[in-house]
Amino acid sequence: MPLISSAKKRKLITELAQMLQQRPGPLRLFAKFPLVKQLSRFYIAGEKMSDAIRVAKEMRAEGKMVTIDHLGEETKRPIQAEEDAAVYKKLIQAISKEELVDHADLSLKLTQVGLNTGEGFCVEKLTEVLELAQERRVTVWVDMEGSKYTEGTIKIIEALRPRFPNLRGVIQAMMKSSNSHVARLLKLGATIRLCKGAYKEPPDIAYQHRAGDIRANFLKIVDKQLFPSKIYHGIATHDEFIIKETIKLAKKHKLTEKDFEFQMLYGVKKELQDELIKLKYQLRLYVPFGEDWLPYFLRRVSENPDIAEDFTHDLIERLHTEHNIDLHWLHPHFKHRE
Ligand SMILES: Cc1cc2nc3c(=O)[nH]c(=O)nc-3n(C[C@H](O)[C@H](O)[C@H](O)COP(=O)(O)OP(=O)(O)OC[C@H]3O[C@@H](n4cnc5c(N)ncnc54)[C@H](O)[C@@H]3O)c2cc1C
């Protein structure tokens, strides 16, 4: 018998992660534990830009592309938005100088570059980043945040995409409005990253079941909107069912492995990543870096109880294979998982 049941363990991890996110004191203390910092490195490149560039080179050696994200929470201070935009400009220069343009691009959140300060200010900051990115041939993905920012984000992409073909958008399949937002981005000829969505949203505006209605809407968008458009898109998921179905849909729409890319989070489901590379599919990993790493790390664990379960499984496997620490006794079920 396992010491702790699987459901209890998931609940414990989720509650611990949620509790820590709400308490800045213990959060800061938690971040100082060497083990926590070490564990976060499975999912986060490191605190410095040079860490992200190093990971980009390591991933290139494995045949994987990356999109680099500078970690940062929503900011309401214009000076912080200026600083974040400056970091992204430095990142563009680093990608260009290190000759990584064909393998690395960047992902940013509009609230990092001033969306909370005002739409005009945000457009100004984003334009500065896009101008430099276009000059250096670097692509920019605008991440999609919680529902209060969805319309604002789409509107800003609509305003800037005609001038910047290097601008790409993200759509969350969990949102009931996703089909119409996809249609608006396709009208611009824009490349779309389709993901399930990482934010908790109410049932009147969002589907709730990740392996049910969200999965169904995801595949419907791929089949009815993304693949018929013949535009290059990103399919961002670790859901093996969606990945298998996407491969079937690509065949149905007569697309080759080069006509779209899969996307996953750095450090998640490495075996699945390697399998896709072996099958000659294109894969881009989301690689975050920065000092503000703990909220991102805890969100990955707490937002989805399934992630908490997989996180524990991954952790136990990696501690065993990479550090020779055997924690399989915690739950014998882990021994038999794929
Ligand atoms: C490249 C990329 C960019 C993204 N950009 C955005 C964005 O802009 N906006 C947004 O809202 N969301 C974004 N996301 C997050 C996305 O919306 C999902 O929350 C996340 O990918 C998990 O959903 P899933 O499709 O993998 O399916 P799920 O049903 O959540 O997971 C499928 C399987 O993968 C496992 N898994 C998933 N995540 C992890 C993890 N962290 N550790 C261990 N196992 C895991 C699950 O446990 C499950 O077994 C992005 C994701 C990726 C890969």
Residue 235: strand, helix, or coil: strand
Pocket-testing residue among 307, 309, 312, 317, ligand 1, by greatest number of atoms within 8 A of Cβ: 307
CA–CA gap between residue 121 and residue 119 (Å, rounded): 6
CA–CA gap between residue 89 and residue 134 (Å, rounded): 11
Let me know if residue 24 belongs to a domain: yes
Let me know if residue 295 belongs to a domain: no
| CATH code of 105's domain | 3.20.20.220
Cα(79) to ligand 1 centroid in Å equals 31
**Partners of residue 168 on adjacent β-strands:** 141
CA–CA gap between residue 205 and residue 208 (Å, rounded): 10
pTM metric for this prediction: 0.87
Let me know if residue 34 belongs to a domain: yes
β 167-172/260-265 pair status: unpaired
The number of the ligand 1 atom at minimal distance from the alpha carbon of 314 is: 43
Question: φ and ψ at 327, to 5 degrees?
Answer: -115, 20
Let me know if residue 296 belongs to a domain: no
Question: Do residues 11 and 50 both lie within one domain?
Answer: no
Question: Do residues 50 and 162 both lie within one domain?
Answer: yes
Let me know if residue 294 belongs to a domain: no
Question: Do residues 1 and 143 both lie within one domain?
Answer: no
Domain of residue 252, residue span: 46-289
Residue 152: strand, helix, or coil: helix
CA–CA gap between residue 60 and residue 53 (Å, rounded): 10
Domain boundary among 289, 313, 329: 289
Residue 12 has a pLDDT of: 66
Share of the chain above pLDDT 70, in %: 78
Let me know if residue 226 belongs to a domain: yes
Q: Taking the C-alpha atoms of 186, 189, 190 and 192 in order, what is their torsion angle to the nearest 10 degrees?
A: 40
Question: Do residues 131 and 222 both lie within one domain?
Answer: yes
Question: Do residues 40 and 131 both lie within one domain?
Answer: no
> Quick one: DSSP state of residue 48?
S
CB 229 within 8 A of CB 249: no
pLDDT class of 267 with cuts at 50, 70, 90: confident
Structurally, the chain folds into a number of domains equal to 2
Let me know if residue 35 belongs to a domain: yes
Question: Do residues 182 and 326 both lie within one domain?
Answer: no
> Quick one: DSSP state of residue 69?
E
Question: φ and ψ at 43, to 5 degrees?
Answer: -115, -15
User: 310 CB less than 6 Å from ligand 1?
Assistant: yes
Residue 200 has a pLDDT of: 84
62-89 pLDDT tens trace: 999 999 999 986 777 889 999 999 999 9
**Partners of residue 141 on adjacent β-strands:** 107, 168
Residue 129: strand, helix, or coil: helix
Question: Do residues 282 and 313 both lie within one domain?
Answer: no
Question: Do residues 93 and 229 both lie within one domain?
Answer: yes
Q: 213 catalytic, yes or no?
A: no
Question: Do residues 14 and 100 both lie within one domain?
Answer: no
Question: Do residues 251 and 276 both lie within one domain?
Answer: yes
Question: Do residues 30 and 79 both lie within one domain?
Answer: no
Q: What is the 3-state secondary structure (H, E, C) of 178-209?
A: HHHHHHHHHHCCCCEEEECCCCCCCCCCECCC
Q: Which amino acid is at 320?
A: H
The number of the ligand 1 atom at minimal distance from the alpha carbon of 43 is: 41
CA–CA gap between residue 272 and residue 279 (Å, rounded): 11
Residue 337 has a pLDDT of: 38
> Quick one: DSSP state of residue 33?
-
Question: Do residues 125 and 189 both lie within one domain?
Answer: yes
Name the residue with tokens 């079941």.
209
How is residue 39 written in tokens?
Answer: 């564990």
Q: 193 catalytic, yes or no?
A: yes
CA–CA gap between residue 144 and residue 154 (Å, rounded): 9
100-148 pLDDT tens trace: 999 999 999 999 999 999 999 999 999 999 999 999 999 999 999 999 9
Residue 233: strand, helix, or coil: strand
